[in-house]
Chain A
């Protein structure tokens, strides 16, 4: 009989995700899970959207360079030069043009998915604001670069873009002469304008690459190229569309005629039919665009429910326990530190150095995945030449440095390594009911905590022998925590994290993965049987499976312990 405890049906999302993002988060996680089944987590395109964006950019650069060689920048010759490429060089120029065109569409699709993923996985706030803001800047530039490309063909689509866009830009105080005057009649078209637009098109894509660099600047080891197993199918599919449906020009632009019915690239030109259908004035267009855009830029500061600003129970390691369970000394220490931090206006959640305890040993520097820590000249009279400094704007609030510090010199939300250790001791103390055999560390974003953890007992549901500590990330687990768990009475360690590659901090995934692939485990402790350490990288929807697997692990580990005894 399967006596696996049933998961509690309650809130389905981790409390860390703000409520406004939870519906989108649920859909996103569900889709990621389905994709994980099809692609495996290591090839799930959801985890490589940023990298695929770069991939499309490179395709655009290479194909664009070829098109540039043949493009005639004169308005009278531009259409013919594109026609020459498309028809007379069908299997080189035509394919290049089609690849260029469809890669542009692909770029927009991937960027939109990337934006939605970043938004609904709550990876756009706090230290990630710069990536969000640059990403939001990249979006309209990508769009603008795309339609300048359409313009260069100078067919009926280009005419529509030219006339409609110039009306919208006319109200901006960028030129005394209305832009619309540039497109009055065919004879008044200015070759210099085409020259400017052509180089503007190239410059915009170059700007995109530069912004892309700024975008990932704060991301440690960003993924900027997809795995071959994903890049190759993308290329094959792009080629397939290019052969089956080559990109073609419409009728040559003729300013003496109105634009009638045209085939629209909805990925780039969707706003124009909307503007046309509702007969929107330019001021209305700018008002709507500006309003939505401003809202989008400010999202990192508008979305409520940041972990660090929630109540103390949502802080590091205290989701389950509450500070009253970790021994009075530690509780007093945390309370006192929080009070001091509040007085000094230290941002909640951000790690900070207690200078008097810092020995400038560099351990924190090595583990910080966000490059938020620097070693600077000593500013007090302690006999060390340097000290660790944390840049609050770069701190990801992962807590890696807190447990890495041997000297209790780093704290986050009042927690230091000592308080973590005190917490472990309290979990194994007799006051907590039956003595546990296993110490489990659970990532607060990995699973619906309420569905698998008994908050009162600080145990997995139905497993009194597994003490649970919730962490901001399982990358926080250090040898010291493992060592202390053993000392407190644990014979095994369980770490529960999110699915591989879907880690909020990513660096933790790398650390855990390195341990799994033979490098020294981040949990390595000399006197411990490595078989008694188990890492579960799980799907948020697999609560029952997790409990069943942990139960099996506990059974095996308990046998080991008996044998050892």
Chain B
């Protein structure tokens, strides 16, 4: 049995080594062109419930619960539907609509948080940016919150992330 490789064996074994040597870093790849920036809208928002009980409905609901569940369970019971409103979102840059759509809340019963992650590549420079968001069940088609900057400056390669602060109920750039 051969105990060691000959020179030819070493050379053949070196082929995958050379391939590794080369292709572990080369050729390079450009994921984004120069002078491109990104505008990312990343919202985490608990939208309003579709239907909130009024006083009378709540009283009737609690009455119906009496004797069926314990006091603490009654206190935490949800009157009406748990379902939350579908979020409406519109993103426009320099007057051009980049996104317009409705986003369902998470959860099997649409009762969770609504998440939005939309990223747009733009040429670097100043842009007019307008983001509108609806987080209620209103039927007039209007939006509840608006972010608008006449001239938002994007440096080459810069990523600007727009989020929504639920405490202040305003859009914020992270």
User: Roughly how many angstroms separate A170 CA and B106 CA in the complex, as a whole number?
Assistant: 13
Q: Does A262 contact B (CB under 8 A)?
A: yes
Known: A257-B157, A258-B159. A263 touches B28 (CB 8 A): yes
Within 8 A of A (CB), among B1-43: 1-6, 8-10, 12-14, 16-17, 19-21, 23-32, 34, 36-38, 40, 42
User: Roughly how many angstroms separate A256 CA and B160 CA in the complex, as a whole number?
Assistant: 7
Which of B4, B6, B31, B42 is within 8 Å of A262, CB to CB? Answer: B31
User: Roughly how many angstroms separate A170 CA and B116 CA in the complex, as a whole number?
Assistant: 11
User: Roughly how many angstroms separate A272 CA and B31 CA in the complex, as a whole number?
Assistant: 9
Q: Does B112 contact A (CB under 8 A)?
A: yes
Contact A102 B9 (CB under 8 A): no
Within 8 A of B (CB), among A152-205: 160, 170, 176-178, 180-181, 184-185, 187-188
Q: Mark B34-73, 1 if CB is under 8 A from A, else 0.
A: 1011101010100000000000000000000000000000
Known: A38-B9, A40-B2, A181-B44. A258 touches B157 (CB 8 A): yes
In the complex, what's the smallest C-beta–C-beta distance from B158 to chain A, in angstroms?
Answer: 6
Chain B residue nearest to A180 (CB atoms) is B117
Which of A233, A261, A266 is within 8 Å of B5, CB to CB? Answer: A233
Selecting from A9-17, A132-140, A215-223, A235-243, the interface stretch reads A235-243
Chain B residue nearest to A110 (CB atoms) is B16
Q: Does A58 contact B (CB under 8 A)?
A: no
Contact A264 B29 (CB under 8 A): yes
Which size bracket describes the interface of A in this complex? 35 or more
Q: Mark A85-126, 1 if CB is under 8 A from B, else 0.
A: 000000000000000011001100110000000000000000
A188 surroundings in chain B (CB, below 8 A): 174
Which of A170, A181, A259 is within 8 Å of B32, CB to CB? Answer: A259
A267 surroundings in chain B (CB, below 8 A): 20, 23-24
Which of B13, B107, B115, B157 is within 8 Å of A260, CB to CB? Answer: B157
Q: Does A23 contact B (CB under 8 A)?
A: no
For chain A, what secondary structure do more than half of its interface residues adopt (helix, strand, loop), or is it mixed?
A: helix
Chain B residue nearest to A43 (CB atoms) is B2
Contact A184 B40 (CB under 8 A): yes
Contact A109 B19 (CB under 8 A): yes
Contact A260 B32 (CB under 8 A): yes
Contact B161 A185 (CB under 8 A): yes
User: Roughly how many angstroms separate A265 CA and B5 CA in the complex, as a whole number?
Assistant: 29
Q: Mark A29-52, 1 if CB is under 8 A from B, else 0.
A: 000000100111011010000000
A38 surroundings in chain B (CB, below 8 A): 6, 8-9, 12
Contact A263 B8 (CB under 8 A): no
Q: Does B113 contact A (CB under 8 A)?
A: yes
Q: Does A273 contact B (CB under 8 A)?
A: yes
Which of B12, B17, B36 is within 8 Å of A258, CB to CB? Answer: B36
In the complex, what's the smallest C-beta–C-beta distance from A500 to chain B, in angstroms?
Answer: 10
Q: Does B153 contact A (CB under 8 A)?
A: no
Q: Does B163 contact A (CB under 8 A)?
A: yes
For chain B, what secondary structure do more than half of its interface residues adopt (helix, strand, loop), or is it mixed?
A: mixed
Q: Does A356 contact B (CB under 8 A)?
A: no
A257 surroundings in chain B (CB, below 8 A): 157-159
Q: Mark A484-505, 1 if CB is under 8 A from B, else 0.
A: 0000000000000000000000
Which of A176, A238, A241, A264 is within 8 Å of B27, CB to CB? Answer: A264
Contact A233 B20 (CB under 8 A): no
Contact B29 A273 (CB under 8 A): yes
User: Roughly how many angstroms separate A11 CA and B3 CA in the complex, as a whole number?
Assistant: 37
Chain B residue nearest to A245 (CB atoms) is B21
Q: Does A308 contact B (CB under 8 A)?
A: no
Q: Mark B157-174, 1 if CB is under 8 A from A, else 0.
A: 111010100000000001
Contact A176 B107 (CB under 8 A): yes
B115 surroundings in chain A (CB, below 8 A): 176-178, 181
User: Roughly how many angstroms separate A238 CA and B20 CA in the complex, as a whole number?
Assistant: 9
A234 surroundings in chain B (CB, below 8 A): 13
A110 surroundings in chain B (CB, below 8 A): 16
Q: Does A1 contact B (CB under 8 A)?
A: no
User: Roughly how many angstroms separate A267 CA and B9 CA in the complex, as a whole number?
Assistant: 24
Q: Mark A259-288, 1 if CB is under 8 A from B, else 0.
A: 111111111000011001000000000000
B113 surroundings in chain A (CB, below 8 A): 176-177
B36 surroundings in chain A (CB, below 8 A): 258
User: Roughly how many angstroms separate A170 CA and B36 CA in the complex, as a whole number?
Assistant: 24
Contact B29 A261 (CB under 8 A): yes
In the complex, what's the smallest C-beta–C-beta distance from B173 to chain A, in angstroms?
Answer: 10
Which of A106, A233, A261 is within 8 Å of B10, CB to CB? Answer: A233
User: Roughly how many angstroms separate A101 CA and B20 CA in the complex, as a whole number?
Assistant: 10
Q: Does A244 contact B (CB under 8 A)?
A: yes
Contact A241 B5 (CB under 8 A): no
Contact A160 B12 (CB under 8 A): no
Which of A45, A229, A245, A261 is within 8 Å of B28, CB to CB? Answer: A261
Contact B20 A241 (CB under 8 A): yes
Chain A residue nearest to B34 (CB atoms) is A260
A480 surroundings in chain B (CB, below 8 A): none
Contact A170 B31 (CB under 8 A): no
Q: Does A355 contact B (CB under 8 A)?
A: no
Contact A266 B157 (CB under 8 A): no
Q: Does A255 contact B (CB under 8 A)?
A: yes
Contact A177 B44 (CB under 8 A): yes
Contact A260 B117 (CB under 8 A): no
A40 surroundings in chain B (CB, below 8 A): 2
Contact B30 A261 (CB under 8 A): yes
Q: A180-B117, A272-B31 are in contact. List 18 more A-B contacts (CB 8 A).
A: A42-B1, A43-B5, A109-B20, A176-B112, A176-B113, A178-B115, A181-B42, A184-B42, A237-B13, A241-B17, A241-B20, A258-B32, A261-B28, A261-B31, A265-B25, A266-B23, A267-B24, A273-B31
CB<8 Å pairs between A and B, sample of 13: A40-B2, A45-B13, A109-B16, A109-B20, A176-B115, A184-B40, A229-B3, A256-B158, A257-B157, A258-B32, A264-B25, A265-B24, A267-B24
